[in-house]
Structure 1
């Protein structure tokens, strides 16, 4: 088998043998299933959004700092 065919077969195996995963941890799922009102699920979803946004903000800040440093270095070289 050539390398391209091996990758294709591996991709097919992974796609067809993958199992469904839960979107939440077991504790979050249990808490949401036991709640009667819609307030708790909404709060969990808000928490997920906050947790998801934080790494993007950090990467953006680091990228901005690198951009500013490079811009300053290029201006200094000229």
Structure 2
């Protein structure tokens, strides 16, 4: 059990470095575009990825609320 927890902690500590590398790549692509359509697409993707967990959690709480009420 302790080894699994340690492995999870190590993996979580390593992931931010991978995420930063990806962000630098996205930034380079956006900066190289002249018309801005790529930047708009990336911004829309970020909003979509940000909003989806909130919608899922709200739906979960709604169904829990309905189950408890009735």
For CA contacts below 8 A with separation 6 or more, give which structure has more relative contact order: 1
Q: TM-score with structure 1 length normalisation?
A: 0.59
User: Matches of 1:58 and 1:38 in 2, distance apart?
Assistant: 31
Residue of 56, 63, 66 corresponding to 1:65: 63
Alignment of 1:32-51 (within 5 A): 32-51=30-49
Q: Which runs of 5+ in 1 are unaligned?
A: 1-21, 73-78
Where 1:37 maps in the other structure, the secondary structure is: coil
Q: Which has the higher helix share?
A: 2
- For these two proteins, the number of residue pairs brought into alignment is 50
Runs (4 or more) in structure 1 with deviation over 6 Å come to: none
Q: Which residue of 1 aligns with 2:29?
A: 31
The Cα of 1:38 is off from its aligned counterpart by: 1.4
User: Matches of 2:35 and 2:41 in 1, distance apart?
Assistant: 11
Q: Which runs of 5+ in 2 are unaligned?
A: 1-19
User: Matches of 1:49 and 1:62 in 2, distance apart?
Assistant: 20
The Cα of 1:32 is off from its aligned counterpart by: 0.4
